[in-house]
Amino acid sequence: MPFSQDTAHTLIATLREQLGDRHVLTAAEDIAPALVESRGLYRGTALAVVRPGSTEEVAATVRACSEAGVPIVAQGGNTGLVGGGVPYGGIVLSLARLDCVRSVSPGDAAITVEAGVILADVQAAADEVGMLFPLSYASEGSARIGGSLATNAGGTAVLAYGNARELVLGLEVVLADGRIWNGLKALRKNNAGYDLKHLFIGSEGTLGIITAAVLKLFPKPLSRSVGFVGLPSFRAAVELFQHMSRAADRDLTAFEVMPRFGLEIVLKHAPGSVRPLAGDHAVYALVELSSTRPNADTGEDLEGMLAAGIENGLVEDATIGTSEAQNAGLWALRENLSDVQKAEGGSIKHDVSVPLSRLADFLEQATAACEREMPGLRVCAFGHAGDGNIHFNLSQPVGMDKAAYLAEWGRFNRIVHDIVSEMDGSIAAEHGIGLIKRDELALYGDPVGLDLMRRVKAALDPHDLMNPGKIVALGDDAPAALPV
């Protein structure tokens, strides 16, 4: 720890004075949940979890930590998947109390929220004024908007609406020295110099603390249809996507894929799941059309597209939801897949993207290479195929020791990331770099790009106190990247 016990005691006393005793947690049982991440892969340490209640209190907390030379790790819902929110010795700054929707302006198609508002509550606030906030993924009931922006989260609506980054009009950020940058404008055009908000979006708490954001709202679709499709291969799925995206244009709002193994483990472990198709298929796609046009008939359009898919041999079987309850049931098959993998033992995960034209090649090559490397390993490659983003997860062979399996993480990183890199893809599509991919970024990142990242980090956080050791390691004392 680069600071003394005395410094730590003085800092805790200062923070208690500033925020009140009950918002500075130090008891082991109170801080325990903040020391681990959602997969249980890392366990950190912290002096305290502090819970400021306003932007000014966040600024005061950061100033006090900066003066004491104590690191700060921001936490929202702690649902991140790359170990980015795990603290190693400093203060955890929870944004949970900054949970106010400051304003909703349908006229500007914008909503201003504090960083601690839960993503599902942002969606609900938009819905209350008859509009849509499209960012959506399985952890939306606990992820907070600050964390969603700090990770530039993706999810299931990227195809139509873009990543979190595309949904932001303005930001408010507390900088590493405790100053508050007010960039909370609701403008669609603003070329007044560097667009600073984009530095902080996706920076995973390493450059500053996001305290509020102005987000874009959209018209709510008037009709939506969801289909579940059985296909012979990932190659057929990619071809179907190409056909559908040309035919449906902007109405194609989701195209998600999963393998047979994925559907089988959802049916086995997620209560209430219903098998969607009678037969057995190598690959499944969840497809959604939605439209804001009053006269659109998404059901008829979807039926036509899937019938064409059957005619040209891409689709083996398909079903279309006939009610919102059925649509939700089909979506649940996809959304539950993230969670149920835990029940199958250790899972070595890769969140990657490649150009769409290489997606089928990637899946075939990476699957063959991993199966060759460890016979019995079960590939669970699923996700946002329409975005070229696959969660290329590898469930352990049945009966293998979990720890021994997870110890092979680095070996499989090399196999999968080499193929991704050769296809000019990205080793981090939507979950970010955090800790788990920090050393992979150092290996596969463009050297000039990495140098720029370090310079940006050093300029905005010269004492390396904002989530140190994540994304890029500046010091020698950074925590180990791989969890095992």
Ligand X SMILES: Cc1cc2nc3c(=O)[nH]c(=O)nc-3n(C[C@H](O)[C@H](O)[C@H](O)COP(=O)(O)OP(=O)(O)OC[C@H]3O[C@@H](n4cnc5c(N)ncnc54)[C@H](O)[C@@H]3O)c2cc1C
Question: 71, 90, 147, 469: which one contacts ligand X (CB under 6 A)?
Answer: 147
| C-beta closer to ligand X: residue 374 or 442 | 442
Long-range contacts of 98-106 (CB under 8 A, 24+ apart): 98/52, 98/53, 98/54, 98/55, 98/58, 98/146, 98/211, 98/212, 99/144, 101/125, 102/212, 104/128, 104/129, 104/217, 105/186, 106/130, 106/131, 106/217
Judged by CB under 6 A, the number of residues near ligand X is 38
Site stretch for ligand X (CB under 6 A), options 1-9, 144-152, 222-230, 352-360: 144-152
Q: What is the DSSP letter of 479?
A: P
In 96-214, alpha helices (H): 119-128, 145-150, 158-161, 197-200
Tell me how far, at minimum, the Cβ of 80 lies from ligand X, in Å: 3
Strands 101-105 and 110-114: antiparallel
If one asks whether residue 214 binds ligand X (CB under 6 A), the answer comes out as no
The residues with which 112 forms a beta bridge, in sequence order, are 103, 214
Strands 48-50 and 91-94: parallel
If one asks whether residue 89 binds ligand X (CB under 6 A), the answer comes out as no
Report how far residue 358's alpha carbon sits from residue 385's, in angstroms, rounded to the nearest whole number: 11
Tell me how far, at minimum, the Cβ of 368 lies from ligand X, in Å: 26
Q: Which helix (H) or strand (E) holds 340?
A: helix 337-340
Tell me how far, at minimum, the Cβ of 64 lies from ligand X, in Å: 17
| C-beta closer to ligand X: residue 163 or 298 | 163
| C-beta closer to ligand X: residue 54 or 233 | 54
CA dihedral defined by 30, 34, 40, 45, rounded to 10 degrees? -90
Site stretch for ligand X (CB under 6 A), options 141-149, 246-254, 271-279, 398-406: 141-149
Q: At 128, phi and psi to the nearest 5?
A: -60, -30
Question: 44, 52, 146, 221: which one contacts ligand X (CB under 6 A)?
Answer: 146
If one asks whether residue 79 binds ligand X (CB under 6 A), the answer comes out as yes
If one asks whether residue 61 binds ligand X (CB under 6 A), the answer comes out as no
Tell me how far, at minimum, the Cβ of 460 lies from ligand X, in Å: 12
If one asks whether residue 425 binds ligand X (CB under 6 A), the answer comes out as no
If one asks whether residue 469 binds ligand X (CB under 6 A), the answer comes out as no
If one asks whether residue 289 binds ligand X (CB under 6 A), the answer comes out as no
Tell me how far, at minimum, the Cβ of 218 lies from ligand X, in Å: 19
Q: Which residue sits closest to ligand X, CB atoms considered?
A: 147
Strands (DSSP E) contained in 372-420 are 378-384, 389-395
For the record, the structure tokens of 393 come out as 């997860």
Question: 24, 25, 74, 436: which one contacts ligand X (CB under 6 A)?
Answer: 74
Give the side-chain half-sphere CA count within 13 A for 373. Answer: 21
Tell me how far, at minimum, the Cβ of 155 lies from ligand X, in Å: 4
Site stretch for ligand X (CB under 6 A), options 61-69, 135-143, 315-323, 395-403: 135-143
Let me know the angle formed at the C-alpha of 46 by 463 and 346, rounded to the nearest 5 degrees: 110
3-state secondary structure of 377: coil
Question: 55, 66, 151, 353: which one contacts ligand X (CB under 6 A)?
Answer: 151
| C-beta closer to ligand X: residue 174 or 315 | 174
| C-beta closer to ligand X: residue 211 or 367 | 211
Q: Which helix (H) or strand (E) holds 25?
A: strand 24-25
Site stretch for ligand X (CB under 6 A), options 148-156, 180-188, 228-236, 317-325: 148-156
What does each C-alpha distance from 397 to 224, 278, 283, 341, 344 come to in angstroms?
39, 27, 20, 13, 9
Would you tell me which residues interact with ligand X (CB under 6 A)? 38, 73-81, 84-85, 95, 115, 137-139, 143-144, 146-148, 150-151, 153-155, 204-205, 209-210, 338-339, 430-431, 434, 467, 470
